[in-house]
C-alpha cells in the first residue's frame, strides 16, 4: 500500500512555502509540474517571438527585416525552443508530474529527487541555448535537425552550445521517462488494475517507453557530431570519409518518435477532458489502450520516411511507406473513439471543450497530410517545402498546443482553486483557431507550388499567400493576450472553483483545490471506473459492451 504517514517523505517543513517554493528544489510532484508548466510557457513566448521574426521577414520576398545569418539563427532557435523547451516539457513534464501520481493513487512520483533534478536541468539548458544568440558567431544556424555537413560548416561555438543544450534537455527527458514508467508500473495503489487507469497514464507510459528507447540514440549521435566539430573526426563528414546519411538515420530514430512524444500525451489529455465535458464515458477504452501501444511500436520503425530523398534504396522506401501508412490505423481508431465519445453527449461548450474540438479538427487535417507525405512520389514532390512546415504545425500546434490550452482551462481550477473566465477563454479560442488556420493552411499551397522552407527570400509570386500566413501569425500573437490576462487576473479574482467544478470522476478531483502536499488528507481513493458519466449503476461494463449500447446509454 502506498499510503504513507507524513514523516515518510522529505521534511516539507524545511522547504520554502508560498510562492517561494516554485523557485526551490521542491520534491512535491505538483510543485514540479507547475514549475514545468510556467517555465514551458516562458519559452513558448520566446519561441513565439522568434516565430514572429520569421513571419515578419517572410512578408516580403526579399531579405530585408533581419540579415540572412540572423534569420538562420532565429529559425534554428524557434524550432529547438518550441520542441525541446515548450512542448516536450509541458505535455510530458508539466501535466505528467501533476496528474500521474493522482491517477495511480500515489502521494508522489517514484523518484521525487530525480524528478526535481530533471526539472532543474531545463532552465540552464534553455538559458544556454538563448544566450548562444548573443555570443560572437551567434547561435546555431543549421535548423533543429543540425544535419551535417551544414552543422559542420556553420559557426562552431553556437552549434556546440546547441548540442550541449539538447543533451541536457535529453537527459532531463530520459530521467522524466524513467520516473513515469516506474510510477505507473510500480506505484499503483493496491487494487487498481492497469486497465482501470485513466487514459493519460497509458499515454504517458507509451510516451515514456519511446523516450527511454529513442532519446539516448540522439544523445549518442550528438556526441559523435560534437566530436566532428571539436576534434575534427569524420563520422558525418564526407570530406573525411564519413557518412551523412547515418546521421540522418540516427537523428530520425529519435526525432520521429519525438513527434509521438509530443502528441501521445496530448491524446491522453484530450481523452481525459472530452468525457468530463460531454458527460459520456470514454468510448472504446480498450481499443484506445491498444492503439497507444500500436503507435509506440510503429513509431519506432517509421523514421526513414523523413529521408525519401536521401538516396534511400527502393526496398527501404517501400517498407517505410507501408509502416507509416499503418500508423493511420491506430490513430484513426482514437479519432473515431473521440467522436463517439462526443456523440449524443451533453456537451458543455466551454473553453476546454472548444480547444479539444479544435484539436480534433486540426489533427485530422494534419493526419491526412501526414498519410499523403508517407507516399514516396508525393513526398519527393513536396520534400523540404512549406507543405512539410504546414503539416508539421498542424500536428504539433493544431494538435498538441491546442490540447495544452484545453488542459490549462480544464485543470486551472485544480491548480489554483479558481475558475478561468469563460468569455476571455472563448475569445482566446476563437482568435487562436482562426489565426492558426490562417497562418498554416496557405503554407500547404505554397509548398505544393514549390516554395522551399528555411529560406529568407522567395519567388515574388508567393508574396500574397505569405502575407496571409503572416496575418494569421499576428492573430495568434494577439490571441495570447486574453489568455495571459485571464490566467493572471483569475489567479487573484477568478470565481472560486471548489474541489470539483466539473463534477469529474478522475482521482485528482476527489481532493481539495489546490490539493494538499501529499495529495489526500486521508487515504487515497480507489477509482476503478474513471469514466462512468451518465451510466446507470451496475448496468454497463465498459469493457464488454458494444458501441451501440453506449450510445444509447449516453442519450438517456
Least distance in Å: CB of 233 to other proteins? 4
Q: Under the criterion CB under 8 A, does residue 310 sit at the interface with other proteins?
A: no
Among 12, 24, 196, 243, binds other proteins (CB under 8 A): 243
Nearer to other proteins, 56 or 224 (CB): 224
Among 111, 319, 335, 551, binds other proteins (CB under 8 A): 111
- Contacting other proteins within 144-183 (CB under 8 A): 174, 177-179, 181-183
φ, ψ dihedrals at 59, nearest 5°: -70, -20
Q: Which stretch binds other proteins (CB under 8 A): 236-244, 366-374, 423-431, 462-470?
A: 236-244
Name which of 246, 251, 265 is nearest 170 in CA terms: 251
**Total residues found in the chain within this entry:** 556
Q: Which of 525, 543, 547, 549 binds other proteins (CB under 8 A)?
A: 525
Q: How many CB atoms lie within 10 A of CB 49?
A: 13
Helix axes 68-80 and 156-186, enclosed angle (nearest 10): 10
Q: What residue has cell string 489568455? A: 483
Binding positions for other proteins, 205-224, rule CB under 8 A: 212-217, 219-221, 224
> Which member of 3, 56, 371, 474 binds other proteins (CB under 8 A)?
3
Return the number of the residue (249 or 418) whose C-beta is nearest other proteins: 249
- Residue with smaller CB distance to other proteins, 279 or 426: 279
Minimum distance, C-beta of residue 227 to other proteins, in the bound complex (Å): 7
Least distance from other proteins to the Cβ atom of residue 358, Å: 23
Min separation Cβ 362 and other proteins, Å? 28
Residue 231 within binding range of other proteins, rule CB under 8 A: yes
362: CB partners within 8 A, 6+ apart: 394, 397, 398, 399, 402, 436, 437
In the region spanning residues 15 to 44, those forming contacts with other proteins, defined by CB under 8 A, are: none
Q: Is 49 helix (H, G, I), strand (E, B) or coil?
A: helix
How distant, in Å, are the alpha carbons of 113, 193, 216, 217, 342 from that of 202? 23, 12, 22, 24, 21
Q: State the virtual CA torsion across 508, 511, 512, 515 in degrees, nearest 10.
A: -60
Q: Which of 21, 426, 454, 529 binds other proteins (CB under 8 A)?
A: 529
> Per rule CB under 8 A, is residue 88 in the interface with other proteins?
no
Q: How far is CA 445 from CA 234, 361, 391, 442, 468, in A?
A: 40, 19, 11, 5, 12
Q: Confirm or reject binding of residue 499 to other proteins (CB under 8 A).
A: yes
Is residue 541 classed exposed, middle or buried when 0-12, 13-18 and 19+ CB atoms within 10 A define those classes?
exposed
Stretch that binds other proteins, among 161-169, 247-255, 370-378, 467-475 (CB under 8 A): 247-255
> Applying CB under 8 A, does 526 fall inside the site for other proteins?
yes
CA 381 – CA 2 distance, rounded (Å)? 56
Amino acid at each position: 500500500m502506498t499510503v504513507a504517514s507524513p514523516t515518510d517523505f522529505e521534511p516539507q517543513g524545511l522547504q520554502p512555502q508560498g510562492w517561494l517554493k516554485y523557485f526551490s528544489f521542491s520534491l512535491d510532484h505538483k510543485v514540479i509540474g507547475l514549475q514545468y508548466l510556467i517555465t514551458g510557457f516562458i519559452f513558448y513566448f520566446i519561441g513565439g517571438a522568434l516565430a514572429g521574426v520569421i513571419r515578419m521577414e517572410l512578408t516580403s520576398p526579399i531579405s530585408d527585416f533581419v540579415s540572412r545569418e540572423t534569420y538562420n539563427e532565429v529559425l534554428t532557435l524557434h524550432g529547438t525552443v518550441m520542441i525541446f523547451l515548450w512542448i516536450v516539457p509541458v505535455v510530458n513534464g508539466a501535466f505528467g508530474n501533476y496528474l500521474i501520481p493522482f491517477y495511480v493513487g500515489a502521494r508522489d512520483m517514484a523518484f521525487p529527487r530525480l524528478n526535481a533534478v530533471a526539472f532543474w536541468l531545463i532552465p540552464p539548458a534553455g538559458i544556454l541555448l538563448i544566450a548562444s544568440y548573443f555570443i560572437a558567431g551567434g547561435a546555431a544556424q543549421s535548423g533543429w535537425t543540425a544535419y551535417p555537413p551544414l552543422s559542420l560548416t556553420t559557426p562552431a561555438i553556437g552549434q556546440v552550445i546547441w548540442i550541449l543544450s539538447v543533451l541536457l534537455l535529453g537527459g532531463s527527458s530520459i530521467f522524466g521517462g524513467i520516473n513515469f514508467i516506474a510510477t505507473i508500473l510500480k506505484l499503483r495503489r493496491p487494487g487498481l488494475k492497469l486497465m482501470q487507469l485513466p487514459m493519460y497514464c497509458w499515454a504517458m507510459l507509451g510516451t515514456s517507453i519511446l523516450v527511454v528507447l529513442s532519446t539516448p540514440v540522439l544523445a549518442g549521435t550528438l556526441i559523435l557530431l560534437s566530436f566532428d566539430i571539436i576534434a575534427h573526426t569524420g563520422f558525418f563528414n564526407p570530406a573525411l570519409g564519413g557518412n551523412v546519411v547515418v546521421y540522418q538515420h540516427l537523428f530520425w530514430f529519435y526525432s520521429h518518435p519525438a513527434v509521438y512524444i509530443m502528441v501521445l500525451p496530448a491524446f491522453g489529455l484530450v481523452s481525459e477532458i472530452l468525457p468530463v465535458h460531454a458527460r459520456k464515458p470514454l468510448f472504446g477504452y480498450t481499443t484506445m489502450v491498444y492503439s497507444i501501444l500500436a503507435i509506440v511500436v510503429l513509431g519506432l520503425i517509421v523514421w526513414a520516411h523523413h529521408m525519401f530523398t536521401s538516396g534511400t534504396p527502393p526496398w527501404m522506401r517501400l517498407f517505410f511507406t507501408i509502416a507509416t501508412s499503418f500508423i493511420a490505423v491506430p490513430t484513426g481508431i482514437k479519432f473515431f473513439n473521440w467522436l463517439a465519445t462526443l456523440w449524443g453527449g451533453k456537451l458543455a461548450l466551454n473553453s476546454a471543450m472548444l480547444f479539444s474540438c479544435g484539436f480534433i479538427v486540426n489533427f485530422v487535417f494534419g493526419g491526412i497530410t501526414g498519410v499523403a507525405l508517407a507516399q514516396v512520389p508525393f513526398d519527393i514532390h513536396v520534400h523540404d517545402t512549406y507543405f512539410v512546415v504546414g503539416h508539421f504545425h498542424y500536428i504539433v500546434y493544431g494538435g498538441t498546443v491546442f490540447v495544452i490550452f484545453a488542459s490549462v482551462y480544464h485543470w486551472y481550477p485544480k491548480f489554483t482553486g479558481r475558475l478561468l473566465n469563460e468569455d476571455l477563454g472563448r475569445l482566446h479560442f476563437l482568435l487562436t483557431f482562426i489565426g492558426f488556420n490562417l497562418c498554416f493552411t496557405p503554407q500547404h499551397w505554397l509548398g505544393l507550388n514549390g516554395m522551399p522552407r528555411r529560406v529568407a527570400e522567395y519567388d515574388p509570386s508567393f508574396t500574397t499567400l505569405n502575407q496571409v500566413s503572416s496575418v494569421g501569425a499576428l492573430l495568434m500573437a494577439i490571441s495570447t493576450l486574453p489568455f495571459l490576462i485571464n490566467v493572471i487576473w483569475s489567479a487573484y479574482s477568478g470565481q472560486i472553483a471548489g474541489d470539483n467544478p466539473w463534477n469529474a470522476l478522475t482521482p485528482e478531483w476527489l481532493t481539495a483545490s489546490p490539493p494538499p502536499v501529499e495529495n489526500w488528507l486521508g487515504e487515497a481513493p480507489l477509482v476503478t471506473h474513471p469514466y462512468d458519466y451518465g451510466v446507470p449503476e451496475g448496468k454497463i461494463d465498459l469493457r464488454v459492451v458494444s458501441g451501440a449500447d453506449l450510445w444509447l446509454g449516453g442519450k438517456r
